[in-house]
Chains A and B, each alone.
Chain A
Amino acid sequence: MTNNQEIIASYKRGHNVLGKASTGELAWKKQLREAGLACFTEGGYPSLRDEAWRYSNPKGITSKEWRHTESGAAVSAQGIDQHRLSDSNNELVFVDGIFSQELSKLNAIDGLSIQPTSESSTPLNEIIPSTGGFGALNDAFFQTGAIISIDAGKEIEGLIHLLFLSTGKSPNTASHIKNIISLGEGAEASVIESYIGAPDSLCNTKSHISLAKGAALEHHILELGDKAGHWVGETICDQARESAYDSHTFWLGAGWARNNLVVKMNGVESFCNLGGLYLTDNQQHVDNHTEIDHVAPHCISRELYKGVVAGKSRVVFNGRVLVRREAQRTDSDQANHNILLSSSAEIDTKPELEIYADDVKCAHGTTIGQLDAQALHYLRVRGIPKATALEMLTTAFVMEQIDSVEHETLKERYQALTSKRLLDLGRGL
């Protein structure tokens, strides 16, 4: 951990301002922020010396003095429109980490309750365990987010859309968000978190998901940051017996992004599916650290991360699968497949299987390849220009990540976004 006194001093100053502005707030919130700052002061930022960060140097973040706003910049409704999803039953818009009532579209639905995280009646540190580094920073400057609860037995139609927009209107603005999603017994829902970044912005999120017995959640993270923006996040999902967690993450923008996704399969016969897609070029850096913790027996986990990596970009994938001694009859399959479009791009991929049970089925596979030059030639000989041909071939490679999404509106949105992004990647060649 780096312990840059100057940075910490600046955060302390920022924290004092925050403290004054937030007098009269819930007691837990003040405590959380103070404990977070103390933890951050102690540990500081992670650095390359930490094993989990050895391929991801956060210096683009650590070298800057971040501001934290208590009032979101003004954004017109039109500015938001292109990011809205027509299939949303509720759309909560956050601007620079601040909830915007007027931009949000709220609908009362039986069995669904949504409230800003800052108004939680339960102290947040009882729900989301505190961690160091960016997690401590998230505690110290915590703004808000959404608490989504679904009652037992309720199936919520459509998407619950959390839209986080960084405006970049005042440079070096950071947002610190916490989301809490909990599904009661047998409940079903689909939640998407969209992150729209801006230059010189930092989005730092921390989410906690809990799925009760038999609950099923389809959970998406769509990251559309700016190439000069930063994104750091952590999601922890606790699964009870027979629950299903279906995660899809799309990394399509930020200059520097790091995500930790931790799934704890605590109950028997639970299922999780983790899908990820990253399309990077220029100097982008995308790091996905996933961890599936098979605590209970008879659980099934599936994981497939895929990406196309161009320019001088760098991608990290670390897939940890832990099968505990009690987790007999675990069935786990992990794969990470990549296409490198340039000789200056880099992928560091590492499966990390730790198996303590003896009656399990665990598979993993990783590939890093180039685009098929013969196929490219074949398409061009038929009259298809190089950029289009590249887009067709890379699209074919990533298509299964989109096809596995059930919601039609989302599928269409992903198709449009990836197609545009892949054309960009192809043009750079």
Chain B
Amino acid sequence: MLEIKNLHANIDGTQIIKGLNLTVPDGEVHAIMGPNGAGKSTLAQIIAGHSDYEVTEGEVTLDGVSLLGTEPEERAAAGLFLGFQYPVEIPGVTNSYFLRTALNAQRKQLGQDEIDAFDFLTDLKNNMTLLEMETSFKGRFVNVGFSGGEKKRNEILQLLTLKPKMAILDETDSGLDIDALRIVSKGVNSMRSPDRSCLVITHYQRLLEYIVPDVIHVLMDGKIVRSGDKSLAIELEKSGYTELQA
């Protein structure tokens, strides 16, 4: 369970998150919607531990354990995953090596043995089949020369391989055509289980037709201003955010 209480954060002295409260219980999928500049991506980066942001007040816990003040890699090992809005290209590091290193680094932090090479490759192959990715992507450098859609699919491949307890997906749907959206959603939905939860950040109601959320939150000006079930997305699509602001 992810719990955020009274979170305040700023970057270079500008306050972006202004007293945010949010709880995502185990097994649930929540969505955050909101206008540009509301602080959605900032929230995602703060939870993942980006050093550019300074948390001035509040707390963020995963299963009751505080994440604030820990390194990004420790948060990952604790079961947190962030799907990037803009996945980073890493020349010289192959996808398969990257994933195996990440998985084993997390296992090491948890005091577990390295994953069996055969098991890893089998799982990777299955996940790639699910995401309709060609096997050549294993040996390609991380995100280098990938199209926008391929990069997002690659994020979901990492999600499926690392199997986190809590996944935050930051605008995973942006830049996806309808087929890619279907595939990415299929990947996310395959992860749904009573002990995993997911926080989906999006601009559009469209994604939520594929990944149906339990709760939708509206984030504006650094705070959650409204929460509701999936019908809230349809309402927003009609009325826009300005109405909420009034």
- Interface residues of chain A, those whose CB is within 8 Å of chain B, are 372, 374-375, 377-386, 388-389, 392-393, 395-397, 399
Contacts and interface: CB of A to CB of B under 8 A. Distances in A.
Contact of B101 (A375, A381, A384): A384
Contacts of A397: 92
Contact of A378 (B51, B77, B84, B101): B84
Contacts of B49: 380-381
Contacts of A383: 73, 76-77, 102-103, 105-106, 109, 162
Contacts of A395: 92
Contact of A382 (B51, B91, B162): B162
B50 interface: yes
Secondary structure dominating the interface of A: helix
A372 B71 CA distance: 18
B90 A393 contact: yes
B158 interface: yes
B41 to A, nearest CB: 13
A374 B88 contact: yes
A48 to B, nearest CB: 37
A374 B105 CA distance: 19
Size category of the B interface is 20 to 34
A332 B162 CA distance: 47
Given A374-B88, A388-B105, A381 B76 contact: yes
Given A383-B162, A386-B73, A396 B92 contact: yes
A381 to B, nearest CB: 5
A375 B89 CA distance: 7
A392 B88 contact: no
Contacts of A377: 50-51, 72, 88
A378 B73 contact: no
A86 to B, nearest CB: 25
Contacts of A375: 88-90
B98 interface: yes
B103 to A, nearest CB: 8
B48 interface: yes
B90 A384 contact: no
Contacts of B102: 379, 382-384
Contacts of A382: 73, 76, 98, 102, 105, 158, 162
A380 B91 CA distance: 16
Interface in B24-48: 48
B215 to A, nearest CB: 25
Of listed A378, A392, A397, A399, residue having the most chain B CB within 10 A: A378
A117 B17 CA distance: 74
17 contacts: A372-B88, A377-B72, A377-B88, A380-B49, A380-B72, A381-B49, A382-B76, A382-B105, A383-B73, A383-B102, A383-B106, A385-B105, A386-B71, A388-B101, A392-B101, A393-B90, A393-B93
Contacts of B162: 382-383
Contacts of A392: 93, 98, 101
A382 B49 CA distance: 11
Contacts of B90: 372, 375, 378-379, 393, 396
A383 B103 CA distance: 7
Nearest to A391: B101
B173 to A, nearest CB: 20
Contacts of B105: 382-385, 388
Contact of A381 (B82, B89, B91): B82
Contacts of B87: 378
A195 B91 CA distance: 32
Nearest to B87: A378
A381 B72 contact: yes
Interface in B78-119: 82, 84, 87-93, 98, 101-103, 105-106, 109
B97 to A, nearest CB: 8
B71 A380 contact: yes
Nearest to B106: A383
B92 A381 contact: no
A258 B75 CA distance: 45
Of listed A377, A380, A386, A396, residue having the most chain B CB within 10 A: A380
Contacts of A378: 84, 87-88, 90
Nearest to B72: A380
B245 to A, nearest CB: 32
The 5 closest A-B pairs by CB, nearest first: A396-B92, A383-B76, A383-B106, A382-B102, A378-B88
Given A383-B77, A396-B90, 4 more contacts: A378-B87, A382-B105, A383-B103, A383-B162
Contact of A384 (B51, B73, B89): B73
A374 B91 CA distance: 13
A396 to B, nearest CB: 2
A374 B88 CA distance: 7
Interface string B158-173: 1000100000000000
A380 B109 CA distance: 13
Contacts of B50: 377
A393 B97 CA distance: 12
Contacts of B82: 381
A374 B98 CA distance: 15
A388 B90 CA distance: 14
